[in-house]
Amino acid sequence: MRVAEPTLAALPNPVLRYLAATRPAFLSVTLVACLLGLAVAHASGVKLALPAALLTVLFALVAHAGANVINDYYDALNGSDAANEQRVFPFTGGSRFIQNGVLSQRETARFGYGLLAAVVPAGLWLSLGAGPGLIVIGLAGLLLGWAYSAPPFELAGRGLGEPAIGASWLLVIVGADFVQRGAFSWTPLLFGTPFALLVANLLFINQFPDAAADALAGKRTLVVRAGPQEARWFYLAICSFAYGWLLLVIERLNLPGKFAVAALPVLLTLRAGRELLLHADQPALLAGPIKLTIGSTLAHGALLCAALLASGHALA
């Protein structure tokens, strides 16, 4: 079923209009990342502080929303979204708010930067309880969210989008843990790496329908650089590394067998990979594998959270 693109007539309420511009459905990956960081802290024997946890989740979502809006603004400036005739909406090709006249470029820029600015006071307040290390984590996350799209860095257009996305979501997990723990730890890095890699893989598969428009706009994404036929193999490589890392952590830390449940979504990922191998240069047929990639990523994160919470203080 084809999803209708946004129009001004369909969004007369300005509050709902601006909310929809953040692409709220896709903020779920940040919600799961926060919950994963909190679950790691709990499994490490940390008593969770609920108010700080709620504020962490809220403003991580605001930061992600701001990055989404900023990405729309800069992809409108470079022309890649306007030129994208092969987009698979709502997954690729941007929100279409600027292209369809729902918001102007100026309104989009103001909104995106406003959202990112709103995160700063919350981060400073949380750092009073957690420690100054949280400021470093927060600033690194905001910088990556901005530099992903904005010049002069434009990481996505230089083939560095996947590392930037992976690092960003790993910082979300580390940050959520840090707020509770009050210190840096290797534990959230160990457990967060597979999820961060799967989020990067989600970005990666989204690049296939956008490749032609990105090339026209001068964006040298990984798919543009390698070409769809060569790039499709990277999807399986990232997936293999993510789940291989998970199983290695389970084995090295001698964790209960229940943790292996977090590897079950690999079945969905492999199915998506198979479809990508068959249809890498046919954007119209990639909605299915994109949906499978989203589902498998969220399922992995949720199942790993459940395993951590069910394990008590197994990591303490």
pLDDT digits (tens, 9 = 90+) for 129-145: 999 999 999 999 999 99
Q: Does position 312 have pLDDT exceeding 90, yes or no? A: no
Segment 179-204 mean pLDDT = 97
Could you tell me the pLDDT band of residue 247, with boundaries at 50, 70 and 90?
Answer: very high
Measured between alpha carbons, how far is 61 from 175 in angstroms, rounded to an integer?
13
Predicted confidence (pLDDT) per residue in 96-120, tens digit: 999 999 999 999 999 999 999 999 9
Distances (CA, A) of 18 to 61, 93, 102, 158, 281: 15, 18, 9, 29, 34
pLDDT at 132: 94
Could you count the other beta carbons within 10 Å of the beta carbon of residue 47? Answer: 7
Distances (CA, A) of 45 to 38, 40, 254, 257: 11, 9, 17, 20
Average pLDDT taken over every residue of the chain: 95
Q: Does position 121 have pLDDT exceeding 80, yes or no? A: yes
State the distance between the two ends of the chain, measured CA to CA, in whole angstroms: 48
The pTM assigned to this predicted structure is: 0.96
pLDDT at 1: 60
